Structure 1
Amino acid sequence: MARKTLELMLVLLIAGCSREAGPRLLPHPVPDQQVASALSGVCLEILEVHQTEGRYEIVYELTNLGGEAPGYGEYAALEKMMKDGWYGIIYSDAVFYRNPEFIDYGEMLRPGATERMTLDTGDLGTVLTPGTYRLVKTITGTDGFEYSVAAEFEIK
């Protein structure tokens, strides 16, 4: 009996160690499962995703095709598609201490302007494993209401 228990524990240990570590996710799907890539004249587009030394740099553009100047910031959320929906990726609080500019307000996107930004997962302290992800930006309209735009990308 002890031998079978030892074998079972060994199998469980090997199975647990072979799992690929991925990003830490929130325990429940995010409330907004449908987020458009363009809303109120603001468009979000992923330009490229490239890997460098185990980290990913996600290059994206925020474009204002509208007539007003909404607010935005450097902050961007990442979410991963799982079998039952989108789950938010958890960032360490240290991210915000190391980079106080990583906030979702403070900049204005003039009409007709395009802003190119890069989100580096190494700076976030997270690892992306293969799957479908989306980058979500919060925009503040001139009326003070917040809305989100998102763009999807794949990690192979």
Structure 2
Amino acid sequence: MDLSAPWHVPVSCRLSVVRPTTDTLPSIKTERLPMSNRGDRLRLAMEARGVRKQHALAFQLQVHESAITRWKANRSLSLDNAVAVCSALDISLDWLLLGRGTMDFHKVSETKTVGSEENYLLAPFKQLSQLLSQQTNACLQALIFSLLTDVSPK
């Protein structure tokens, strides 16, 4: 298996993410739960997204099921695999790796309205994001959020 090439999974084999409703999972609250490590956050994300069988996620990520078991045990996880997991589960990379923000933090930034004075920065970033791969976009976004956290007044 060539792990350096982009993976092409047929649409019929892709993991479908189930969005829980208050009827299906009434007690999951991702914002307030203390998550001490990445493995706990991965378990919570899989539960929140309705992933009951980790072999389906493993198939989509093109890794062995034992890799997901190791990640849930908070053992080593490469940046490439972390980005792939976040993309598959539609969760924030910053939240998964560092525990910052919320599971859906990446969605909050998408919904904010932007003033015209900020548009001169937004347009080039949108153009750049269309040219970069999804994985590179996620890495760039994580870097920007990390820089913002470092320079923001405490």
Larger radius of gyration: 1
Mark yes or no: TM-score above 0.5.
no
Higher strand share: 1
Higher helix share: 2
Query: What's the TM-score, normalizing by structure 1?
Result: 0.26
Query: What's the TM-score, normalizing by structure 2?
Result: 0.26
Which one has more relative contact order, counting CA pairs under 8 Å at least 6 apart? Answer: 1
